Amino acid sequence: MKKLGFGLMRLPLLNEEDRKAIDLEQVEKMVDYFLDQGFQHFDTAYMYHEGTSEDLFRKMVVERYQRDRYTVTDKMPIYMVEEEDDLKRIFDEQLERCGVEYFDYYWIHALNQERYDICEEVSAFAFLSRMKEEGKIKHIGFSFHDSAEVLEKILMKEKEVEFVQLQLNYLDWEDPVIQSRLCYEVARTYHKKIFVMEPIKGGTLANLPKEAEELLRKKDPEATPASWALRYVAGLEDVVMVLSGMSDEAQLQENVELFKDIKPLKEDELQVLSEVVKQIIESMKIACTACRYCVDDCPQHLAIPEYFAIYNEYIEHGNPDDPALRESFARASENHGKPWDCIACKQCEEQCPQMLPIIEKMEAISKLFKEGQ
């Protein structure tokens, strides 16, 4: 199986304000091109695109292609499970939404210590094993956002796990919070195959600071920053799938061409990336990947990823009174709570895979934009 997976969480939109307003015509073209080029794996989840991603997968793939043309991963939203019966109810709903009789791969979604506690309370992994015995799941695993220590604790206990989905990219490789390298090494120690998420860190590694991009261009004028990031993770041992949330046809085509004959980075190229990391860290803004996990349960309905993008623009250009910046803020806040409406409940921080200090950043953004409102 080719290593590029089509992540159905950052699809092209007809209206950037509405995550459900997916550009179906463009997605249909993207799906057709992806499959026609010999790729086959799709990744969806219960909450992606505000609960519409699974239905879209059914319409775009299942209803238009034979079952042997594609494979799919779906995920149990364990953070929504309150009792054991919820597992079967949600799982059956996902089968119906996706229009399939079985999932090729099925994960517990976004595990950390707190969510693993829920798994133990409701016997989630035992449920997955039963579904596998019934032929409704082919392979069991989980996606993960926590420390290497927690990962090892889970793998020591859950012997049925075959795959681990990790956030791996060259920027997070030595990050003390994300712990990409350490988590990767733990997964390999326990002989688990690895799916990679966030290889481009939500677009961060495709849109580098000028100095960092110049380093890559000097080494290889033809290669895009995104291709460097994808080659980095694709070359890691025991990585069997690299997921990319592709938002338009151009991104898809670039990635497909790269993965047709993808080559690992050489030692001299890895040395260049180490310099790139230094440049990125020096200019680091809010490292939000716009996954939107923080948004769904926000009681104040804050447009957190949009506010972070605006704040990053301010950090880069240094003028909060710039008319374009003010206009972007007005659009983002028109149908959402303002940053100063934040009540510091920290539900967003509990959901954030990047473990960002969201409350602290909301306070900073409030100071920038509240005057004159």
In one-letter notation, the amino acid at residue 87 is L
In the block, tokens 């996606």 appear at: 143
Q: Other CB atoms closer than 10 Å to residue 343's CB: what's the count?
A: 12
Higher pLDDT pick, 280 / 324: 280
Residue 108 in 3-state DSSP? strand
- The dihedral formed by the CA atoms of 214, 215, 221 and 223, expressed in degrees to the nearest 10: -110
Using one digit for the tens of pLDDT, what is the confidence trace for 94-133? 999 999 999 999 999 999 999 999 999 999 999 999 999 9
Q: How far is CA 46 from the centre of its chain?
A: 13
Q: What is the CATH number of domain 4-282?
A: 3.20.20.100
| pLDDT value, residue 176 | 86
Using one digit for the tens of pLDDT, what is the confidence trace for 202-248? 888 998 989 999 999 999 999 999 999 999 999 999 999 999 999 99
Q: Other CB atoms closer than 10 Å to residue 62's CB: what's the count?
A: 17
| pLDDT value, residue 203 | 87
Q: How far is CA 5 from the centre of its chain?
A: 12
| Residue 74 host element (H or E) | strand 71-76
For the record, the structure tokens of 365 come out as 């953004």
Using one digit for the tens of pLDDT, what is the confidence trace for 332-368? 888 899 999 999 999 999 899 988 999 999 998 898 8
* 318: pLDDT strictly greater than 70: no
pLDDT-derived band at 144 (thresholds 50, 70, 90) equals very high
Mean per-residue pLDDT for 145-157? 97
Interatomic CA distance for residues 332 and 311, integer angstroms: 12
Break the chain into its structural domains and give their ranges. 4-282, 304-369
DSSP labels, 150-191: HHHHHHHH-TT--EEEEE--TTTTT-TTT-HHHHHHHHHHTT
Higher pLDDT pick, 38 / 285: 38
For the record, the structure tokens of 218 come out as 């000097």
In the block, tokens 């596998």 appear at: 132
| pLDDT value, residue 373 | 52
Interatomic CA distance for residues 213 and 207, integer angstroms: 8
Residue 1 in 3-state DSSP? coil
